[in-house]
Chains A and B, each alone.
Chain A
Amino acid sequence: MNVRVKLGVTVLAVALMSGTALAAGNDDFWAKAAEPYKGVVLHGVTESTPPSNYIKDVLAPEFEKKTGIKVDIETTSWDQMYDKAIKDMEAGTGIYDVVYIEQDIIYSYLARNFLTDITKALKDKPELKASTYDDAKFTSFANYFKQDGDLYGVPMEAFLKIYCYRKDLFNDPEIKAAFKKQTGHDLKPATTHEEYTEIADFFTKWGKDHNLQLWGSTAQAHTGHPASWYEFFESVAPTFGVYSWGIDASKNYAATVEHGGAMNSDKAKAALKWWLHLRDIAPPESAQSTWSEVATTFAAGRAAQGLVYGENAAWIETDTSKSKVTGQVGFALPTLSPGVMDDAKSGKGYVGYYDGGAFGLPVTSKNKEAALLFLEYIGQDEVQPGWAVAAPRITNTATFDAPEVKDMDVKLGGFYTMLKDEGKLFAGAPPYPFHAQVREATAPIFYDILTGKIGPDEGLDKMAAKAEEELTSLGYRK
């Protein structure tokens, strides 16, 4: 054995031993830090999503094995999750030690002082601070869960709502030729709203002419569920330059154009008409589609393109037991009106919805220390790659470089790369503490627009006025 080989073997051995020692060291930390809380049962409530199920099925049992602290995670529907968490924190019953905080509700929770300052809590109890946990390692998505620089929720999922298209259809020579003949343009993923509509119209007609169950676009257009409201205000309106639901906090929370808002602006009205046209040429189930049904429609091969929540990207592209279009999905940025990309780059606006959530620690929890340990555990770099592969979510910067994530990125056609490179162009919900209240006040009018009971122009005028009325009633608008 020559010197170089000996040196190599020695380095490898040292590295392996260091790694093992580090892992053993980490295990020692969890066991030692958790010693006073052994036997504690933590209760958590979250929405039933792939990332949450991974926590329940993988991370919680792992944590229990290392610490002796049992974590009982309750995964339920979106509505129930909010209902249970808010009631618990409002009444101060202390049932839950961990609650899911969707990005759009964090401002309401902070306004009500529902959440524990995780940064401060760890500073106050240094014996609970794991060396493997560092909140500086989170992606910029963590900023949504910060107040005055302190973290109030450990990010556990983050996705983009992206433009998905069928590569097999877009690359089909017969379809390409027919599209060129009909429109005079080459068939390629759209970048403008006009291009998107042209493609959608073409494919709906193509499906009809060829007796196929194929339509030109998805539409999350349920006529009685907030999902449609969200699709419009968080995914469609911004691409026309209407940001933050068209409510301007700096102008006394104005929503109407008359008072300085944009909810009923010409841009908003143009956006709504564009989207309503797409709804009209989308698969018939769209009028009953929420976020998950849109993904199902796309996975069933019933739409040529559409806006789909990124949490579904992995299974649509790779899971043959659930998706008919595996290996055929392309991902791109949403289509935009002129000026929107400049707004996004300059920070004035955004191109689409950055969805996600975190796990927080209610101030009413009776097991704060044990819960802090659990939150640190799920926030470490080392648990992230497996989690990212199981559910396409990334919340830590280091996760992008993990080999298994890179492999998955290739399978997903660069979805993670888009999240890494273009994530900054997207934004979550605006920082309002009255999220559900304004939505619920205006949603009935929005549903009436969807059913054609009132027109889009009149409807948006009414919605903007109703939003201001609600904000006045809540005491935010003076």
Chain B
Amino acid sequence: MKSNTFGWILLAPTIVVLFFFGVLPFLYVVYVSFHQWNPFAANPYMIYNGAGNFRQIVFDGAFLASLGVTVAFVFFAVLTEVIVGYLLAQAFMSDFPGKAFFRTIHTLPLIIAPIIVGSIWKLMTTPSIGIIPHLLQSSVGFDLNIGQSAAAAFIITIIMDVWHWTPLVTLTLIAALVSLPPDPFEQAQIDGAGKWQIFWHITLPMIAPAVMATVFIRLMDALRIVDEVLMLTGGGPGSATRYIGVHIFREVFPRTNYGYGSAISVVVLYLTIVACWLLYTGMLAPRKPRKS
């Protein structure tokens, strides 16, 4: 009992901070989501709206389009990051000249603020001054203009996200790979297992918790991407890269549609939780050992 009390005392500061800066704002967002509230409307005050905002979301073409393009972005970005991150982690597991140098260099994007990442990629992709359009034009004659081509803008935002966040995946997977015991691998090799069999039946199950944690982190981050995209494309061309975070930003800040924007935020939070649960169930649950 005594140790329990001491534990709570130690936890108290964190709980207080979390309550005021996490729980309370969240409850306020939920509260606002049941209201119609635009401070620049003829009536600038909150008007109780019941589930009106949530009903509107279901039929909101702009929101659904934004959600669709976000799901596609998250799928391609996170999948690419995990695959490339794993390959890089495996590469860093072996020795080669300059390994320490390359490992340091490859983590540098992680320490760059998202808004700066967006600026860098904007400079690199702007026609006439950007290195990427220049190289593509001079090497294969392709005119890259992410201000005009929806597909190009979508792909570039994925590449930008992969560039920015793959190092995080790599570092996490390196940590997981380093901690693996050598015995199962030696036994598998003695038994004549191939590389693919070793990966699929030994490595992957053993690093699955680390992969899962990484995917969760990246999934949640990718779903709320705003800064980089806002700087790079502004959500354009058209609504090609108006991901859900950008959509909420435009709805809440410039349009000051606080009520509806809050409702979208709540729905997106719910969808994120559901996506994580589905992922957890799909990837980890089947691998649980049977009791019989």
Contacts and interface: CB of A to CB of B under 8 A. Distances in A.
Interface in B88-137: 122, 126-129
B38 A451 contact: no
Contacts of A287: 145, 147-148, 237
Interface of B: 38-44, 62, 122, 126-129, 143, 145-148, 150, 233-242, 250-251, 253-257
Interface residues of A, number: 39
A226 B250 CA distance: 11
Contacts of B255: 436-437, 440-441
Contacts, number: 108
B236 A451 contact: yes
Interface stretch (A79-87, A169-177, A200-208, A232-240): A79-87
A437 B148 contact: no
Interface string A437-458: 1011100100110110100000
B148 A451 contact: yes
A112 interface: yes
B79 to A, nearest CB: 25
Nearest to B257: A437
A265 to B, nearest CB: 24
A287 B20 CA distance: 44
A130 B126 CA distance: 50
A414 B286 CA distance: 77
Nearest to B115: A77
Contacts of A161: none
B128 A224 contact: no
Contacts of A475: 41-43
B256 A437 contact: yes
Contact of A444 (B39, B44, B62): B62
Contacts of B147: 221-223, 285-288
B118 to A, nearest CB: 12
B234 A225 contact: yes
Given A222-B234, A224-B234, A436-B254, A284 B143 contact: yes
A216 to B, nearest CB: 15
A288 B153 CA distance: 11
Contacts of B127: 283-285, 288
Given A287-B145, A436-B255, A444-B242, 4 more contacts: A287-B147, A444-B239, A450-B237, A451-B238
Given A79-B254, A475-B41, A475-B42, A224 B145 contact: no
A266 B256 CA distance: 32
Sorted from nearest, which 7 A-B pairs have the closest CB atoms?
A: A224-B236, A287-B147, A224-B234, A475-B42, A223-B237, A288-B147, A440-B255
A82 B126 CA distance: 27
A433 B257 CA distance: 14
Contact of B235 (A224, A302, A437): A224
Contacts of A112: 39-40, 44
A466 to B, nearest CB: 10
Contact of B148 (A223, A448, A473): A223
A453 B40 contact: no
Nearest to B255: A440
A213 B129 CA distance: 12
Contacts of B44: 111-112
A434 interface: yes
Contact of A474 (B41, B146, B240): B41
A108 interface: yes
A284 B239 contact: no
A134 interface: no
A114 to B, nearest CB: 10
Residue in B62, B233, B237 with the greatest tally of chain A CB atoms within 10 Å: B237
A194 interface: no
Contacts of B240: 451
Given A213-B128, A451-B150, A437 B40 contact: yes
Contacts of B129: 285
11 contacts: A79-B253, A79-B254, A82-B253, A284-B127, A433-B40, A436-B254, A437-B40, A440-B250, A444-B238, A451-B237, A474-B38
Nearest to B130: A285
Interface in A276-308: 283-288, 302
A275 to B, nearest CB: 16
A437 B239 contact: no
A85 B85 CA distance: 42
Listed residue (A82, A288, A302, A444) with the most chain B CB atoms within 10 angstroms of its CB: A288
Nearest to A444: B239
Contacts of B250: 440
A91 to B, nearest CB: 10
A225 B234 CA distance: 6
Nearest to B122: A288
A434 B146 CA distance: 31
B47 to A, nearest CB: 10
B144 to A, nearest CB: 10
Contacts of A434: 40-41
B128 A284 contact: yes
Interface string A86-119: 1000100000000000000000100110000000
A225 to B, nearest CB: 4
B38 A437 contact: yes
A10 B289 CA distance: 107
A472 to B, nearest CB: 10
A221 B128 CA distance: 16
A450 B44 CA distance: 33
Q: Which of A302, A444, A476 has the most CB of B within 10 A?
A: A444
B40 A288 contact: no
B40 A223 contact: no
Contacts of A225: 234, 236
A82 B39 CA distance: 14
